[in-house]
Structure 1
Amino acid sequence: MNRLWFRITLSFSLLTLTLLVFLWFFITSVSENSFKQMTSEHLFENAQLVAQLVETSDLEGGTEALQERIELFREPVGMRFTIIDTDGEVLADSESAPETMENHSDRPEVQEVIENEQEAGEAIRFSETEEIEMMYVASPIYNEEGVIRGIIRTSYPLDSIEDTMIVFWRGLAVFLAIILVIAAVAASILARNITRPLSDITAVTKRLSGKDYSSRVHTEVSGEIGELAGSVNDLAMNLQNQMRALHENEQQLSTILSNMVSGVMLINQEGRILMINSAMEKFLGQHNQHILGHDYRDFDDSLGLRDGIAKVFEENEKIQKEVAAGQVTKKVFDAHFGPYYGNGWKQRGVIIVLHDITDIKRLENMRSDFVANVSHELKTPVTSLKGFSETLLSGEVTDEETARSFLQIIHDESERIDRLIRDLLHLSHIENKVSPLNIGEVALVRLTHGITHTLSKAISDKGLEIILPPPAEEVFIEGDQDRLNQILTNLIANAITYTGEGGKIDISIEETPFDVRISVSDTGIGIPAENIPRVFERFYRVDKARSRNSGGTGLGLAIVKHLVESHKGKIELTSVEGEGTTFTVILPISQ
C-alpha cells in the first residue's frame, strides 16, 4: 500500500505540475502581451498628447524651439520622443541631436503612417542609438486642413517591460509553487485516506489466509471502500462461522470415531493408511504411529486385512467376511471392506470397519451348549421315567419289592427334573430382576455358622476339617439375607462335594472400609486353568459325569454369580488342579 500511496501522490503531483506549467506559459504569454499592449497604448496616447502641443510652423525645416520643447518631455515622462517630417528627416529628438540621426523613412512604424496612411504605426526592434531593444509607436501630425505634415514617434525600452515581467514571473512562480506544494500535500492526504483502509483490508485478508478468522477491518470510511471493508468483514465472519462449524463437525467425528467400539481404518487411492481409530489400534495391537502413513501392504497385519483391501481396489465392490485375531486372543471380527468416493463418484480409497463379534460367537456357543446341556440333563431322567413306567405298565413286574424300587427311581428322577426346572426358573427370575432384593442388616459370621451347622452331616460323613471365622468378630452388611444364604450355601456345598475325605475347608470374612471379602477355600480336586473362564456358565461342567453323580443341576454357580451381581458385588475364582479351589465374593457394605 505504500507504493500505491506514492504512485497516487506522484501521479496527482505530476498532473498538477503539468497543469501549472501550461498555466505558467499561458499567464506569462498573456501578461507579456498585455504589458506590451498597455505600453503601446500608453506610447500612442503620449504621442497624441505631444502632437497637439507641436505647432505646424515648427515642422517647417525644424527650429530650435521645437528641439527645446521636445527635450522638456524626456525627464517627466521617461519616454523618447522623435519628430520626423514626411520625408523621413528627423526634426527633433528628446535624447539625441537631430543632425546626428539618419533618415527614418525606412522605419516600419514610419512607413505604416506615411505610406499606408494608418493612424498609428508600431514596431519592436533593436535600437542602434540606444543599443537596446525598443518599442516604437508612430502617429501622424495633421495641419488645419487635415493633411499629414509630420510624424511624432514615441519609444520605450523593452528592458523595463522585461524587468517588470521578471518580477511578475517570480511572483507567479512562487504562487504556482505554493499551489503545487498544497496540491501535493492534498494528494498525499487523499492517497493516505484511500490506502489506509486498503492497507487494513489487505492486512485482514492476509490474516484470513493465515487462518486467523477473527480478524476484522476497523474503519469508518464510507463509499466504495467502506462497502469493500464491510464485504471483507462479512466474508471473514462467514469463514469464521464455517470453520467453527467444520471444527465442531471434526471434533464430533473425532469423538464418535474414538468412542466407537468398532474399528475403523481409511486408506487412500495410493494405498497409504490415512486414519484409524482407537478401537482399530486395539484390535491390531499397535500404536497408530506404526500404522498411519504406511502402505497397507507393509504394516504388521495381524488380522489378515490385506486380501480384502486389495480385492476392493480391484473390483470396487463391498466385501464382508469374518477374520480371527489369532490363537492366543481368539478374537473374532466381522470385517466390512468398501470403497469410498470423492466428487463425481470417483474412488478415493478403501474404508474398513471391524465389529468385535467375539462375545456374540461366545454367546452363540453358550446357547448351543445350553440347549445341548438341557437336552442332555433332561434326556437321562426322562429315559429312566419312560423305561421304568413302561415296565410297570406292562405287568411284567410281579414282585412288590421290585415294583417299589422302580417307583422310587421314578420318584427320584421326577425330583431331579423338578429341581432342574426350579433352578432354571429361579435363574431366569434373578436375571430379569423379577424378584427385588429384600434389603436388611445381615450378620455374615452368624449366617456362615448356621450354614455349616445345616451341612454338618455331609461334613462329618467325609471327615472334613472346617475353619470358620470367630463368632466374636461379627461383620454386618446390607443385603438380602435369603439370597446371601443361598450364595454361601452353594459355595460351601460345592466345597464339601468336591473335597475328598479328610480334606479341609477354610471360610474367612475380611472387612474393609468399603466392602467385605468372603472366601471359601478347599483342598479338593481343583479346576483346570482352561476351564476356569466358563465355570459360571449354565450347565457347564469340567467333568460331565461328576456333577450328575453328585446330584447337581449344573446351575448352582450361575445362580451364585447373578445373586452376587444383584448385590452390586463380584465373584472371583482361583484354582489349581489337584490342589484346591478358592471362591471370593466381594460385596459392598452398603447397598
Structure 2
Amino acid sequence: MNRLWFRITVSFSLLTFTLLVFLWFFVASVSENAFKQMTGEHLYENAQLVAQLIETSDLEGGSEDLQERIALFREPVSMRFTVIGTDGEVLADSENAPGTMENHGDRPEVQEVLEDDAEFGESIRFSETEGTEMMYVASPIYNAEGVINGIIRTSYPLHNIEDTMVVFWRGLAVFLSIILVIAAVAASILARSITRPVSDIIGVTKRLSGKDYSSRVHTKVSGEIGELAASVNDLATNLQNQMRALHENEQQLSTILSNMVSGVMLINQEGRILMINSAMEKFLGQHNQYIVGRDYRDVEDNLGLREGIATVFEENEKIQKEITAGEMTKKVFDAHFGPYYGNGWKQRGVIIVLHDITDIKRLENMRSDFVANVSHELKTPITSVKGFSETLLSGEVTDEETRRSFLQIIYDESERIDRLIRDLLHLSRIENKVSPLNIQDVDLVRLIHTITNTMTKAISEKNLEVTLPPSTESVIIEGDPDRLNQILLNLIANAITYTGEGGSIRVSIEITSSNVRVSVSDTGIGIPEEYIPRVFERFYRVDKARSRNSGGTGLGLAIVKHLVESHKGKIELDSVEGEGTTFTVIFPILQ
C-alpha cells in the first residue's frame, strides 16, 4: 500500500511539474515577447519624440549641431539614437562619430521605411559597432511638404532585456517551485487520505481470507471509500454469520455422525475415502488416520465392501445387501451403497451406510428357537394327555387301577403344562416390567433357612449334607421378598436336583461395603464349559432327560437372571463338569 501512496504522490507531482514547466515556458515566452514589444513601442515613441526636435535644415546640412543635439540623449536614456539620411548616410549618432560609421541604407529597418513606405521599421540583429544583440526601430522624418527627409533610428541592447528576463524567469521559477512543493505536499496528503482507508480495507480482506471473520474496517471516511468500507464490513458480518452457521452445521453433523450406531463412509469420484464415522472405524477395526485419504482399494477390507463400491461406480445405482463378517463374532450388517451427487446432479462419489443387525438376527434366531422350544415342550405333555384321554374314552380300559394311573398321568401332564404357561407369563411380566418391585427390608439368612426347611424331604431322600449361614446371624437388604424367595428357591432346588446321593450343598453370604454376595455351591454333575454361556437361555437344559423327569420347565434360570437384574444385581456362574457348580448372586444392600 506504501507503493500506491508513493506512486500517486510521484505521478501527481510529475504531472504538476510538467504543467508548471509548460506554464513557465509559456509565461516566459509571452513575457519576453511582450517585453520586446513594449521595448519596440518605447523605442518608436522616443524616435517620434526626437524626430519632432530635429529641423530640416539640420538634416540637409548634416551640421555639427545635429550631432551635438543627438549626443544630448545619450545620458538621460539608455538607448541609442541614430539619424540617417535618405541615401543611408549616418548624419548623427548618440554613441559614435558619424564619420566612422558605414552606410546604413541596407539595414532592414531602414529599407522597410524607405522602400515599403511603412510608418516604422523594426529588426533585431547583432551590432558590429556595439558588439551585442540590438533591437532597432526606424521612423521616418518628414519635411514641411510631407516628404521623407530622413530617418531617426532608435536602438536598445537586448542583453538588458535578457537580464531583465533572467530576473523575471528566476522569480517565476521560484514561484512555480513553491507551487510544485505545495502541490507535492497536497498530493501526498491526498494520497495518504485515499490509501490509508484503502490500506485498512485491504488489511481487513487479508484477515478475512485468513479466516479472521471478526475483523472490521474502523476508518471513518466519507464518499465512495466510506461506502466501500461499509460494504466490506457488511460482507465481513455476513461472512462471519455464514461461517458460524456453517460451523454449527458441521458440529451438528459431526456430532450426529459420531453418535450414530450405523457406520458411514464417503468416497469421492477418484476412489479416495473422504470421511468415516466412529461406528465405521469400529466395524472396520482400523483408526481413521489409516483410512481417510487413501484409495478404498488399498484399505484392508474385512467386510467385503469393494465389490459393492465398484458396482455403484459402474452402474450409478443404489444397492443393498447383507454382509456377514468375522469368523468368531459372526457380525451381520445390512449394507447400503449409493451414489451421491453435486451440482447439476453430477455424481461426486459413493456413500456407504452399514447397520449392525447382529442383535436383530440373534433375536430372530432366539424367537425362532423360542417358538420351537415352546412347541417342543408342549408337544410331549399334550401328546400324553391326548393319547391317554383317547384310550380312556375308547372304553378299552376296564381295570380301575389302570384307569386311575392314566388319569394321574393326564393330571401330571396338565400340571406340567400349567407350570410351563405360568412360567412363561411370569417371565414375560418380568421382562416387560409389568409388576413393580415391592421393596421391603428382607433378612436373607432367615429367608434361606425358610426355603431349606421346605425342601427337607428332598434333602433327606438324597442324604445330602447342607451347610447354611448361622441362623443367629442377620443380613438385611432392600428387595422384594417374593422375588428374592423365588431366586434363592430356584438356585437351591437346582442344587438339590443336580447333586447326586450323599453329596453336599453349601449356601454362604459375604457382605461388602455396598453389596451382599450369596453363593449356592454343590458337588453335583457340573456343567460343561461350552454350555456355561447358554444356561440362562429359555428352555436350555444341560441334562435334558433329567430335567424333564424332574418336572422342570427349562425357564427357571432365565427367570432368576431377570429377577436378579430387576434388583440391580448380577449373577455369576462357576462350574466344573463332574465336580460341581457355584451360582453367586450379588445384590446391592440399598435399592
* Interval containing the TM-score (normalised by the shorter chain): over 0.9
Matches within 5 A, 1:61-210: 61-210=61-210
Where structure 2 has 5 or more consecutive residues not aligned to the other structure, the ranges are none
Of the structure 1 ranges 445-454 and 189-198, higher mean CA displacement relative to structure 2 is found in 189-198
Q: Output the CA distance in 2 between the equivalents of 1:44 and 1:272.
A: 102
- Structure 1 counterpart of 2:511: 511
Asked if residue 487 in structure 1 is aligned to residue 487 in structure 2, the reply is yes
Of the structure 1 ranges 404-413 and 188-197, higher mean CA displacement relative to structure 2 is found in 188-197
Where structure 1 has 5 or more consecutive residues not aligned to the other structure, the ranges are none
- Structure 2 counterpart of 1:576: 576
Deviations 1:428-477 (A, max 9, x none): 22222222211122222222222222223322332333333344553322
Shift of 1:29: 0.9
Shift of 1:323: 2.3
Q: Output the CA distance in 1 between the equivalents of 2:366 and 2:190.
A: 88
4+ residue runs over 6 A deviation: none
Shift of 1:59: 3.1
AA aligned opposite 1:566? S
Q: Output the CA distance in 2 between the equivalents of 1:290 and 1:119.
A: 111
TM-aligned CA distance change 1:580 to 1:316, over 3 Å: farther
- Structure 2 counterpart of 1:275: 275
Asked if residue 403 in structure 1 is aligned to residue 403 in structure 2, the reply is yes
AA aligned opposite 1:7? R
Q: Output the CA distance in 1 between the equivalents of 2:583 and 2:226.
A: 82
Say whether the 8 Å CA contact 1:139–1:153 is kept in structure 2: yes
Deviations 1:159-189 (A, max 9, x none): 1000000111111122222222322333333
- Structure 1 counterpart of 2:383: 383
Q: What number of residue pairs does the alignment pair up?
A: 591
Shift of 1:567: 1.9
Q: Output the CA distance in 1 between the equivalents of 2:577 and 2:268.
A: 53
- Structure 2 counterpart of 1:539: 539
TM-aligned CA distance change 1:267 to 1:110, over 3 Å: closer
Shift of 1:548: 0.9
- Structure 2 counterpart of 1:442: 442
- Structure 1 counterpart of 2:413: 413
Q: Output the CA distance in 2 between the equivalents of 1:119 and 1:273.
A: 106
Shift of 1:143: 4.2
Of the structure 1 ranges 75-84 and 348-357, higher mean CA displacement relative to structure 2 is found in 348-357
Q: Output the CA distance in 2 between the equivalents of 1:115 and 1:299.
A: 116
Of the structure 1 ranges 37-46 and 502-511, higher mean CA displacement relative to structure 2 is found in 502-511
Q: Output the CA distance in 2 between the equivalents of 1:441 and 1:459.
A: 29
Shift of 1:294: 4.1
Shift of 1:130: 0.9
Of the structure 1 ranges 475-484 and 344-353, higher mean CA displacement relative to structure 2 is found in 344-353
AA aligned opposite 2:301? D
Of the structure 1 ranges 67-76 and 301-310, higher mean CA displacement relative to structure 2 is found in 301-310
AA aligned opposite 1:387? G
Q: Output the CA distance in 2 between the equivalents of 1:568 and 1:251.
A: 37
Q: SS at 2:587's partner residue?
A: strand
TM-aligned CA distance change 1:32 to 1:563, over 3 Å: same
TM-aligned CA distance change 1:167 to 1:525, over 3 Å: same
- Structure 1 counterpart of 2:562: 562
TM-aligned CA distance change 1:306 to 1:2, over 3 Å: same
AA aligned opposite 1:357? I
Say whether the 8 Å CA contact 1:264–1:279 is kept in structure 2: yes
Matches within 5 A, 1:310-389: 310-389=310-389
Deviations 1:396-432 (A, max 9, x none): 3333333222222222222222222222222222222
Of the structure 1 ranges 530-539 and 237-246, higher mean CA displacement relative to structure 2 is found in 237-246
Q: SS at 1:571's partner residue?
A: strand
Shift of 1:158: 0.8
Q: What is the RMSD computed on CA atoms of the aligned residues?
A: 2.5
AA aligned opposite 2:331? K
TM-aligned CA distance change 1:177 to 1:404, over 3 Å: same
AA aligned opposite 2:366? M
Q: SS at 1:75's partner residue?
A: coil
Q: SS at 2:61's partner residue?
A: coil
TM-aligned CA distance change 1:13 to 1:554, over 3 Å: same
Q: Output the CA distance in 2 between the equivalents of 1:315 and 1:81.
A: 116
Of the structure 1 ranges 464-473 and 474-483, higher mean CA displacement relative to structure 2 is found in 464-473
Task: Give me the identity figure in percent.
Answer: 85
AA aligned opposite 1:454? T
Say whether the 8 Å CA contact 1:339–1:347 is kept in structure 2: yes
Q: SS at 1:415's partner residue?
A: helix
AA aligned opposite 1:396? E
TM norm structure 1: 0.92
Q: SS at 2:435's partner residue?
A: coil
Q: Output the CA distance in 2 between the equivalents of 1:456 and 1:17.
A: 128
Q: Output the CA distance in 2 between the equivalents of 1:50 and 1:191.
A: 63
Q: SS at 1:578's partner residue?
A: coil
Q: Output the CA distance in 1 between the equivalents of 2:566 and 2:177.
A: 103
Q: SS at 1:74's partner residue?
A: coil
Shift of 1:147: 4.2
- Structure 2 counterpart of 1:239: 239
TM-aligned CA distance change 1:108 to 1:310, over 3 Å: closer
Q: Output the CA distance in 1 between the equivalents of 2:518 and 2:60.
A: 168
